[in-house]
Structure 1
């Protein structure tokens, strides 16, 4: 029998299931395990090829009749926020973000639970317990951080109320936003958008060229917000294509 090293990825294909984004379509995914000493290198390589990470699994859509899911990454060094995005930054100027080791807390879970109940009560994560949340944060063999966003205290320092958090992988060429969530009671702050803007600024300050946002699907209202962050690159069969404010794509 052939023996495979933990550092040799084996790929598997899921059975078809209803697509959560496009009605009437079936989705399939190809996935592999991110384990062993080379997990970080493999995660970098697979992310460049359109994979996403979930705990110790890297996956990519592999649907039979559809190629709607398109990987998107923002070009951090060239990004300039639009007037509307600057308003989001101003609206959240009282928040302070801190990138910390990926350690789950009850405070995080409280907001995570409220976020799921308000936004995704019928989704695949709706029944996640505090232990499930801990596994989502801790079950990683790659460089993962959690960015917490808190209100400033009266002294102007961090340490106030937690309002949002983002689980983030630090790649060789960027930050990959694995999952973000926020207090639904402050929905008027546009915190999802704010966290992306903050990650773009963080990537730039860290000398990293990209922020990976996952999949964008043209025509999907759930994914439309990702097209606001320009210039960006979208993964095509011919490689990463640049998309700027003119809407014209050119091969990177």
Structure 2
């Protein structure tokens, strides 16, 4: 990605999605830039993340808590808890599907948001919200569906780039929380990356000590992006 050919925009301050008392700002690659699909891989390498049709990077003046992270696919080995998760969900079928909206997926998405993000502004997502947040016309996205027979239990939204997979979002049936389907989705995306010969699974941002974001450190070996580039996260 050559900076002289791609414009970056800075968003206005807005409420932080991770800390209620903080405000946040992002750098966003020009959404009208040509060949965003070709920019996506290099942008991931530089720590950017996709949300809908935007590639963004946190650029908060007073905070640097959001740290890009990625799993080293070749050397990853599940720990004991993750092996139990794989065994617990061995009865599920995992199906690679074209990304897109349908009523079944949307119903599951709505139930997940009502349970996990009640009152957060996302819990009344209609069909256009689903499409706008999870897909983009230029994005190389697929959906991994997790099914128990005909019943859809979870969907992992993942982008397939030349240098790795990017785990964009996972939503699942709230009644199946005992299965640890979020963890299972990451483990299945690691396996998908291996099948496709891709070296990295990008997990977005790790926030040390954060109740909802610190779990990513359990997927080892994990790399984080610093000013010096990508480095292994210390145990």
Normalised TM-score (structure 1): 0.87
Equivalent position of 2:102 in the other structure: 105
- The yes-or-no answer on 1:194 pairing with 2:166 is no
Confirm or deny: 8 A CA contact 2:9 2:30 kept in the other structure.
Answer: no
- Provide the secondary structure at the position in 2 that maps to 1:15: coil
Identify the match of residue 78 of structure 2 among 68, 78, 81: 81
Equivalent position of 1:45 in the other structure: 42
Equivalent position of 1:212 in the other structure: 202
1:144-159 pair list within 5 angstroms: 144-151=141-148, 153=149
Normalised TM-score (structure 2): 0.93
The 1:142/1:34 distance shift into structure 2, 3 A limit, reads farther
- The yes-or-no answer on 1:122 pairing with 2:93 is no
List runs of 5+ in structure 2 lacking aligned partners: none
- Per-residue deviation, residues 60-84 of structure 1 (Å, max 9, x unmatched): 1000011110011001111111111
Equivalent position of 2:230 in the other structure: 240
RMSD: 1.7
Q: In the TM superposition, what is the alpha-carbon distance from 1:102 to its structure 2 partner? A: 1.0
Matched residues in 1 for 2:30 and 2:42: separation? 13
Equivalent position of 1:4 in the other structure: none
- Per-residue deviation, residues 154-176 of structure 1 (Å, max 9, x unmatched): xxxxxx21100011110111110
- The yes-or-no answer on 1:161 pairing with 2:151 is yes
- Provide the secondary structure at the position in 2 that maps to 1:200: helix
Matched residues in 1 for 2:53 and 2:32: separation? 7
List runs of 5+ in structure 1 lacking aligned partners: 1-7, 154-159, 248-252
Equivalent position of 1:131 in the other structure: 128
* Higher Rg of the two aligned structures: 1
- Per-residue deviation, residues 189-248 of structure 1 (Å, max 9, x unmatched): 00000000000111111100111111010111010111110001100011000136xx2x
How many residues are paired up? Answer: 232
Q: In the TM superposition, what is the alpha-carbon distance from 1:128 to its structure 2 partner? A: 1.7
The 1:72/1:109 distance shift into structure 2, 3 A limit, reads same
Equivalent position of 1:181 in the other structure: 171
Q: In the TM superposition, what is the alpha-carbon distance from 1:134 to its structure 2 partner? A: 2.6
Matched residues in 2 for 1:58 and 1:234: separation? 18
The 1:54/1:23 distance shift into structure 2, 3 A limit, reads closer
Confirm or deny: 8 A CA contact 2:72 2:223 kept in the other structure.
Answer: yes
Q: In the TM superposition, what is the alpha-carbon distance from 1:123 to its structure 2 partner? A: 2.3
Q: In the TM superposition, what is the alpha-carbon distance from 1:34 to its structure 2 partner? A: 4.4
Matched residues in 1 for 2:164 and 2:120: separation? 28
The 1:189/1:235 distance shift into structure 2, 3 A limit, reads same
Matched residues in 1 for 2:151 and 2:64: separation? 41
